[in-house]
A and B are shown apart, each in its own frame.
Chain A
């Protein structure tokens, strides 16, 4: 079993339903623009309804991404393999919030690994190049971005 088999495959990370309560809770702390915290004001805004902060949407992507990585580690352990070690990320680019994520929307998140590049500066570690996406219950793409992260592969 090797990580190369994942290259080019859009992997399902799971779904999340955004409730009004959690949209408001996140936004009150980190992004208190009126269309993220006030359902009435949101109706009168360009968005036409209460919608999640874009940073809330990406944070949920990250949670599902971490849960997926943990599942991978557990599965490797069950197979008796030495697991990979996941490291930090240097950043992301080309992030697009394509459509608002409204209260009540159920969003499906994915991640696609595109390349794996061994790092000369950190022996044993490689940089993963990935793209990620999210879709609402109507199949509309609501989020897209390209990111990178470190991984140490066994052996």
Chain B
């Protein structure tokens, strides 16, 4: 497969079991909450401050689908875009634990749970990842797990 001009910084070998990867931070802005919700999740508590305050969520709250999209961008910027990522076939679970509100600042962390080589493709490996997202108070707002595919830096010789 064709790679960028230089080799990506991170490959399968770097995602060592137990290692932790920072996901940086992301400011949650009211305008962006409303913009995402208008396109994809037009429920009152995602569109309107007063409706959000009156709801279980307690304020203008990001759609859960917006939260995972913001997570994806954090993941891309933290390490995925500069890696040998070959995509992911799915997500084991997402738990929306706490409302993500306008004005919040999200931070995140990836923990590597498992690593295994592909049996059919010697150049490929699977990495099982757990991700936690926190708000500025350190409250866990979202957690998810998935297995991603990465090319090896040094393919195993059969």
Chain A contacts to B: CB under 8 angstroms: 29-33, 35, 44-47, 53-55, 58-60, 62-63, 66, 86-98, 145, 150
Contacts and interface: CB of A to CB of B under 8 A. Distances in A.
A30 B81 contact: no
Interface stretch (B14-22, B72-80, B105-113, B131-139): B72-80
Given A30-B70, A31-B72, A88-B56, A63 B40 contact: yes
Nearest to A65: B41
B56 A87 contact: yes
Nearest to A30: B69
Nearest to B90: A96
B72 A55 contact: yes
B69 A46 contact: no
Contact of A63 (B39, B57, B88): B39
A15 to B, nearest CB: 16
Interface of B: 1-2, 36, 39-43, 45, 56-57, 63-65, 68-70, 72-73, 76, 80-81, 85-96
A interface secondary structure, majority:
mixed
Contacts of A92: 91, 93-94
Given A88-B57, A92-B94, A145-B91, 7 more contacts: A31-B72, A33-B76, A33-B81, A46-B1, A46-B86, A93-B93, A95-B90
A44 B85 contact: no
A90 B95 contact: yes
A150 B90 CA distance: 24
18 contacts: A31-B69, A32-B76, A33-B85, A33-B87, A53-B72, A59-B65, A63-B41, A66-B41, A88-B56, A89-B64, A89-B96, A91-B64, A91-B94, A92-B93, A92-B94, A94-B92, A96-B90, A97-B90
A55 B68 CA distance: 8
Contacts of B90: 94-97
B96 A30 contact: no
Nearest to B43: A66
A30 B63 CA distance: 14
- Residue among A60, A93, A96, A150 with the highest chain B CB neighbour number at 10 A: A93
B24 to A, nearest CB: 15
A107 B46 CA distance: 25
A90 B76 contact: no
Given A46-B86, A63-B39, A30 B73 contact: yes
B72 A95 contact: no
Nearest 10 pairs of A and B residues by beta carbon: A59-B40, A93-B93, A30-B69, A96-B90, A95-B91, A91-B95, A44-B2, A63-B40, A91-B94, A55-B69
